[in-house]
Structures are given as C-alpha cells and as structure tokens.
Amino acid sequence: MDARQDYDRFWDKTPAEITRILEAAIRRDERDHEEARIRNYELANLIAFAHHDPKKMPEYKPIASKPEAMSDEVQQARARGAFIALALRSKG
C-alpha cells in the first residue's frame, strides 16, 4: 500500500480499515502540502524584505521548545473544567 503501510499486512485489513488509512494518508498529504505553501509564502516575504529594504527585515524569533511548567493544582483545575464542560454539553 502507498499509505506508508506494510504491504504484507494489507490482506489482514478490512475494507473499512483500508478506507480509514487511505483517508488519513490523504489528510496528512494535504496538511503537508499546506505547510509547504505557508513556508514558501513566508520565505517569499523574507526574500522581498531582504531584496528591497534589508534594514526592515523582521527579526528572527525562535519557537519556544518547552511549554511552560504548570503546577498540579492548575492541571487538575483545567481537567476538571474540561470534564464539567463536556458533561454540560452532553446534557444539552
């Protein structure tokens, strides 16, 4: 199979599983394509800045590698809130 799956295990799958695998592969490819489009668009903007007015080139800001640490109390409060919201949504 072309969906990055093991070819020998293809015959063990049901048609529904194969359909889900292929749909997920299509969504992954679409997401990868959109990410490439965004990256190319941003690169084109940076090239325009660098060519026309290098002094106004935006400063590079790295993405934070670690999320901020949360205390156990904050995590429990967020989880409790999520469960309450889920319960209220299911009743309505």
CB 38 within 8 A of CB 60: no
Residues 21-79: tens digit of each pLDDT: 899 999 999 999 999 999 999 999 999 988 888 888 888 888 777 767 888 898 999 99
Which of 13, 11, 30 lies closest to 21, judged by CA? 13
Q: Where are the domains of the chain?
A: 1-61
